[in-house]
Each structure stands twice: as C-alpha cells, then as structure tokens.
C-alpha cells in the first residue's frame, strides 16, 4: 500500500524568507490531482484574448536564497498560452498531457517528463492540441521583465514558416 505524501515543512534551523515574520506554510497535494492545499488557482493572466483555457498556481513564490518562483500551469484541451518573448529565461517540465510548443521558429511535440528550456528573447507558445489537458511546472526568476507580444512585423517574420503560421495563435 502506498503511503500518503508527507507535508513539506520548514526545519527549525532553516532561514526564514527575507522580511517574513513566519515560515512559509507547508504545501501538500490535495485529493485532486495537480491541486495543492492552500494554493489558489488563478487565471493565467488578468486580461486579454491572446490566450485560452489556461490557469496558474504559484507553488513557491521565492524565499530564502532562492529568488525563483515555481508555478504550475494547466491548459485545457484546445487552449494555448500567449505568444510572447522576454529577457528572462525559464524552464518548463511537463507533468501531464501531450501538446506542442513553439520555440523561436520551430514547432515541437512534448509529453510528460519532457523539459523545455526557453532562452531569453525566444518566441514561445504552448498548445494543448492533442485531445487532453496539459500541465507543466515552470521555474522563473522572481524578478523578471514583462513579456513582449509580437508586433505585426514579428508576426510576418514568424509566419514565413508554414508550420509556425499554422500553429500560432496571436
């Protein structure tokens, strides 16, 4: 019989987050897959029509000497993230589902346990277009620049590849 996951806890001698008066609360997985107790599910972004059917959970907001955020994104079948780029890099690990990702000027397939490296100023977009929900963990710098959406000239350049033109949603 498998044992239940134990809550993650802060040890007594571990440093507290800078400026915090109390330790980070433990996070445990709830009974629902890909949901965590005490972690709210938020819209991917506050406003816009350049993404579809995607949510975000922040599992670790950055603390101690780890200036990173660990986030979980979930894209429902037929949904997609924003077509964007930014100065900061980030790292994605797929934990459920199959789909496709645009990286720069190529479209690639992904599935569970695949790791996607997104370098600075790389155009990227994730799509759940294989008939199932896609979920991925994303590690990103806590202090980062705002994403840039493509200009008309950028879209013209991206669309020179037939595969990319068919893939992107802007």
pLDDT for res 26: 65
- Sign of the alpha-carbon torsion through 134, 139, 142, 144: negative
- Residue 144 falls in the annotated catalytic set: no
Domain layout of the chain by residue ranges: 42-167
Asked: is 42-167 a CATH 3.30.360.10 domain? The reply is no
pLDDT for res 23: 59
pLDDT for res 77: 97
Question: Phi, psi (5° rounding) for residue 166?
Answer: -70, -30
Distance, CA of 127 to CA of 100 (rounded, Å): 5
DSSP string, 105-122: TEEEEE-TT-EEEE-TT-
Q: Which entry of 138, 158, 164, 168 is annotated as an active-site residue?
A: 138
What are the pLDDT tens digits along the chain (170 aa)? 444 443 433 333 344 344 444 456 666 677 788 988 888 899 888 777 888 899 999 999 998 889 999 999 999 999 999 999 999 999 999 999 999 999 999 999 999 999 999 999 999 999 999 999 999 999 999 999 999 999 999 999 999 999 999 999 98
pLDDT for res 64: 86
Rounded to whole angstroms, what are the CA distances from 21 to 15, 108, 121, 122? 11, 45, 37, 38
Work out the number of other CB atoms within 10 angstroms of the CB of residue 68.
18
pLDDT for res 48: 79
Distance, CA of 24 to CA of 16 (rounded, Å): 8
């Amino acid at each position: 019989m498998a044992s239940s996951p134990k809550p993650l806890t802060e040890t007594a001698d571990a440093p507290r987050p800078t400026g915090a008066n109390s330790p980070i609360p433990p996070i445990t997985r709830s009974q629902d897959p890909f949901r965590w107790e005490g972690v709210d599910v938020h819209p991917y972004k506050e406003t816009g029509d350049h993404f579809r059917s995607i949510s975000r959970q922040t599992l670790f907001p950055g603390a101690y000497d780890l200036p990173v955020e660990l986030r979980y994104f979930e894209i429902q079948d037929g949904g997609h993230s924003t077509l964007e780029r930014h100065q900061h890099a980030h790292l994605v690990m797929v934990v459920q589902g199959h789909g496709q990702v645009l990286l720069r000027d190529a479209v690639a397939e992904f599935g569970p346990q695949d790791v996607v490296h997104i370098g600075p100023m790389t155009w990227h977009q994730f799509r759940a277009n294989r008939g199932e929900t896609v979920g991925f963990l994303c590690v990103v710098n806590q202090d980062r620049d705002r994403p840039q959406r493509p200009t008309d000239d950028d879209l013209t350049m991206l669309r020179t590849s037939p595969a990319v033109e068919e893939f992107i949603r802007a």
